[in-house]
Amino acid sequence: MEILSPAGNPDGLAAAVKGGCDAVYLAGKDFGARAFAGNFTDRQLEGAVNYAHDHGVKVHVTVNTSVKNQEMSDAVTFVKFLKDIGADAVLVQDLGLMRCIQGIDIPKHASTQMGIHSLEGLEWCAENGFDRAVLARELTMDELSRIVPASPIETEVFIQGALCYCMSGGCLMSSFMGGRSGNRGSCAQPCRKRYDSADGSGYLLSCADLFGVDHIEALRDMGVTSLKIEGRMRSPAYAYLSAKVYSMAEDGDFSEEYQDALKLLRTVFNRGTCPGYLDGVASPVQSLYPDNRGFYLGEVEIRDRAFEWRGEEPIGVKDGISIFNGDEKVGGFKVVETGPVRIPFKIPDGRYQIYRTYDPRIDVVKNLIGSTPKLDGKTPRHHQDVVPDKLPHRSRKPEYSVYVNSLKTLDAVLPYADRVYFEHGDRIAEAREMCAAKGVECVDLLPRLDALDEVAPEGPVMVNGPGQYRLCRDSPRIYASSVFNCYNSWFPLDVYQTTLSVELSRNEVSDLIAHSPGRFEVMAFGRTELMYSRDPGLASGAIRDEKEASFPVYKDKRGFVHILNSVDLFLLDSAEELGRSGVMSLGIDLRKRPPALARAVGEYTRRPDQKLRSKIEEMCGGFTYGLYRRGL
């Protein structure tokens, strides 16, 4: 199997290559999902490809952010440049970009943000020109063993590094809370913040790092092509050591040299480790702390600014030690004597946790990596104009599509709905009957993750990813949900209607529709779903952040967690403006909402007035315009 390592900058590239990886993935200065890594200029990219190839290592370049209309020409130009300099593959999330680069002869990989998590998804990738798919990190070994062997294309599985709490490509928490989009490469890491819940306080959404070395043999046996190490934001020492550990493990070499490298890897970056979902559906959350604490040594009793150390893992002179009291860092120091270990600052007597944050052997690693390689190139970009035709202006009165998951709420809002998206489950047949009696279309809203393609919908459906789209290709009418992150006018799927990304501004919505013939929906009311997670550990209720904003949490019947925005989106008073932009439908999300609110919102869509708006705002506790007016 290929060991695929992160290269966040030229130093990281040299480190990963010298660590023994088979391939690296990296990014240019734009369109990469790690915008805050150092990344590479065009000249450095060409030099990186040449440097890696000289060492027998492949280079995969990420162009895996959502792409706006005005950016498409630059994105396509960049992919053409990557082909010209000999990059071995390009990773893509955006379906519109996928459509625009189909004519460029470079291997294409579906990014994990594309949400490929089933055999149907892999079949769709094969049919649409992809050579490989990076599978969703939520899949278990059992699910992988039933998907990978039948895949028509190469498969890539994350094996090491940071885990997102939310399904990749579906997180909106960063953009709504911090004004920085994870789907655009600028995640503000809200999952690493402290939250309070009814069960206590902690870093309730902060996952421990994935550590999957024990699964290498089974993944190889089932036919996985590549094992991916996360970490473009981490140090060159991490890139070197992670490449070395996994390359040695892939070779079956678990010698003392491997064990030493593993200890050093856990020293240079460690927020705790877990198998992710590989061992099954268990919580990956490590809620005590979200940051790198290094290698955990144990607890000690400190007296008179000193402690005796009798743990299994020795402490040596020049080791860097950090002392914690729970989640509070007391201080750190470099060891100068060990019998006992003396602390060079005042500290009250008591029990503390200690971590090794530095090992002198890391200096040896740095010397092995050596100086930054000189990366240079001369190949220019040749601009590719990708401009969609502007269509005749469309203006109309939008329809209203209502999302519901209870029959009582459905009954309350049905007189005002043009269309109903009813969550897939055992009540869908009753919902269809109720809608049919009123002459309203009932659309089966499918779950966002269906690893084994077990959902068997009937009638019109709303799908959430390429795999479901393929699975439902014979349905009488297909709707594409906002999970597709439709960001531009090149959205390629043959669907009846597409819900646009909720990250788009009013001008971006208008421009997208002006250049695309499709039917589009804009979400106009409801608690926007900020995260969707397979974590079984978070209970239904609410979590509160440090600003006292409360985010509703509910767990569905399949065990998946939904985290909603703390305030309702309200664009219903912009209905006329949206209609003038060509929006065909407004989405109203009333899932988990009481019938009284549903009825009031329904009445407002037919008879808008300020008094009713104020009543709804009082029932909701406030409104937001989301990103529609302020943008990103």
Residue 86, domain member (yes or no): yes
The Cα 401–Cα 460 span in angstroms is: 13
Cβ neighbours around 4 below 10 Å, total: 26
- 58/50 Cα distance (integer angstroms): 10
CA distance 353 to 301: 9
Identify the domain containing residue 328 by its residue range: 295-361
Q: Mean pLDDT, to the nearest integer, of 90-98?
A: 97
- Are the CB atoms for 402 and 413 separated by under 8 Å? yes
Q: What confidence category does residue 33 fall into, taking pLDDT thresholds of 50, 70 and 90?
A: low
Residue range 556-571: average pLDDT? 96
Q: Please tell me whether residues 345 and 264 are part of one structural domain.
A: no
176: tokens are 């709504």
Average pLDDT of the segment spanning 260-270:
93
- CA-CA distance, 497 to 571, in Å (whole number)? 19
Looking at the structure, do residues 449 and 356 belong to the same domain, yes or no? Answer: no
Task: Say yes or no: 258 and 320 in one domain.
Answer: no
For residues 408 and 464, membership in a common domain is answered with yes
Query: Among candidates 586, 570, 575, which has minimal Cα distance to 620?
Result: 570
Residue 232 lies in a domain: yes
Dist CA 428 CA 426 (whole Å): 6
- In tens, the pLDDT along 346-363 reads 999 999 999 999 999 999
Residue 544 within a domain: no
Asked if residue 43 and residue 100 are part of one domain, the reply reads yes
Residues 6+ apart with CB under 8 A from 475: 457, 459, 460, 461
Upper half-sphere CA count for residue 472 (Cβ side, 13 Å)? 31
Last residue of a domain, one of 361, 387, 409: 361
| 3-class secondary structure, 252 | coil
CA distance 313 to 363: 19
Residues 344 and 488 in one domain: no
Ranges of beta strands (E only) in 140-203 are 154-161, 195-197, 200-202
Tokens for 471, please give them: 């699975």
Give the span between the Cα atoms of 482 and 500, in whole angstroms. 5
pLDDT of residue 35: 65
Residue in the block written with tokens 């990749």: 168
pLDDT, mean over the chain: 95
pLDDT for the residue numbered 60:
98
Tell me whether residue 245 is in a domain.
Answer: yes
One domain, residues 477 and 598: yes
Q: Using omega within 30 degrees of 0 as the cis cutoff, is the peptide bond preceding 340 cis?
A: yes
Contact partners, residue 62, CB within 8 Å, separation at least 6: 25, 26, 27, 31, 32, 33, 34, 90, 91, 111
Q: What is the mean pLDDT of residues 84-94?
A: 98
Q: How many domains does the chain have?
A: 3
Per-residue pLDDT tens over the stretch 496-549: 999 999 999 999 999 999 999 999 999 999 999 999 999 999 999 999 999 999
Element (H, E) at 84: helix 72-84
Residue 175 placed within a domain: no
How far from the centroid of its chain's Cα atoms is residue 105's Cα? 28
Confidence of residue 339 (pLDDT cuts 50, 70, 90): confident
Q: How far is CA 573 from the centre of its chain?
A: 32
Among 283, 313, 309, CA closest to 296: 313
| Same domain, yes or no: 250 and 353 | no
Tell me the average pLDDT across 324-335: 93
pLDDT tens digits, one per residue of 400-417: 999 999 999 999 999 999
Residue 193 DSSP label: S
Q: Are residues 481 and 599 in the same domain?
A: yes
Q: Which residues contact 71 (CB under 8 A, 6 or more apart)?
A: 31
Q: Is residue 370 part of a domain?
A: no
Residue 189 lies in a domain: no
Predicted confidence at residue 178, as pLDDT, reads 85
Based on the fold, state whether residues 323 and 437 are members of the same structural domain: no
Q: 32 pLDDT band (50/70/90 cuts)?
A: confident
Residue 557 domain-assigned (yes or no): no
pLDDT for 92 = 97
Computed on alpha carbons and rounded to an integer, the radius of gyration of the chain in Å comes to 26
The answer to whether residue 36 scores a pLDDT higher than 90 is: no
Residues 356 and 409 in one domain: no
Tell me if 293 sits within 8 A of 357, measured CB to CB.
yes
CATH number of the domain encompassing residue 521: 3.20.20.70
Residue 169 has pLDDT above 90, yes or no: no
Q: Are residues 326 and 421 in the same domain?
A: no
Instruction: List, for residues 416-429, the tens digit of each pLDDT value.
Output: 999 999 999 999 99
Tell me what pLDDT residue 471 has: 96
* pLDDT tens per residue, range 428-465: 999 999 999 999 999 999 999 999 999 988 899 999 99
User: What is the predicted pLDDT for the residue at 632?
Assistant: 84
Quick one: average pLDDT of 221-238?
A: 96
